[in-house]
Copies of this chain bind each other. A is one copy, B any other.
Amino acid sequence: MIEMFDVWKTYPNGTNALKGVNIKIEKGEFVYVVGPSGAGKSTFIKLMYREEKPTKGQIFLGGFNVSRIKERQIPLVRRSIGVVFQDFKLLPTLTVFENVAFAMEVIEANPKQIKPRVLDVLGLVKLKHKAKMLPSELSGGEQQRVALARALVNNPGIIIADEPTGNLDPETSWEIMKLFEEINQRGTTVVMATHNREIVNTMRKRVVAIEAGTIARDEQRGEYGYED
């Protein structure tokens, strides 16, 4: 499903964020990406949906060679992935409902199906009652859940989530994690960067630890690690 071969990423300012990453993630897997702040987790994730271009190396995702793809095909890659961004990236002038619906409009979904589906997903993240509000009228955790709803709405084959529980209380976090588990059980590949030791250690999955731009550890049913 997702494969990286010797992927390097140097940002224009000279920061070496990734240094030769090799990984293979199978269809239907559930992968935690862990590591200290600034290790390169978000960069690793951004390369998958082509927010960033690798400086060197090859990345394959679905049928696409993401590192060599034509400009015109980038939207196709992104539509096959649902992304929860670390900084949410909600459209500030659209309501919660419109933000989630936008992802469906982009794939030119049948307008009749948009409304029920969006309300469904907002129900899953418990935000149906905030559907008509703007992102600026939401709490941090609520915004994060809208971002999650938008990632889920199209039932993508891959879900990539960058700290989707960073702004959530443990209870809500667990509900969200159960949602991820459920989706994963239905065959969706899930890649999730997280700092939540409790979750990683309880809900055992594959753990990829990134440290200073390289994969330091890659274990099936792994632990968060980094005890203090």
Q: Mark A residues whose CB is within 8 Å of B.
A: 11, 13, 15, 34-38, 41-42, 86-87, 133, 137-142, 145, 162-163, 166-174, 195, 197-198, 224, 226, 228
Q: Are B167 and A163 in contact (CB under 8 A)?
A: yes
Q: Are B36 and A226 in contact (CB under 8 A)?
A: no
Q: Are A140 and B42 in contact (CB under 8 A)?
A: yes
Residues of B within 8 A of A162 (CB): 140
A153 to B37, CA, bound (A): 21
Q: Are A35 and B137 in contact (CB under 8 A)?
A: no
Q: Which of B11, B35, B167, B195 contacts A86 (CB 8 A)?
A: B167
Q: Are B195 and A169 in contact (CB under 8 A)?
A: yes
Residues of B within 8 A of A226 (CB): 169-171
Closest to A36 in B: B169
Residues of B within 8 A of A13 (CB): 133, 137
A-B contact pairs, 26 of them (CB 8 A): A13-B137, A15-B137, A36-B169, A37-B139, A37-B140, A37-B141, A37-B167, A37-B172, A38-B138, A38-B139, A41-B139, A86-B140, A140-B162, A140-B166, A166-B167, A167-B195, A168-B195, A169-B226, A170-B195, A170-B226, A170-B228, A171-B226, A173-B195, A174-B228, A197-B198, A198-B198
Closest to A35 in B: B169
Q: Are A36 and B163 in contact (CB under 8 A)?
A: no
Q: Distance (Å) between the CB of A147 and the closest chain B CB?
A: 13
Residues of B within 8 A of A163 (CB): 140, 167
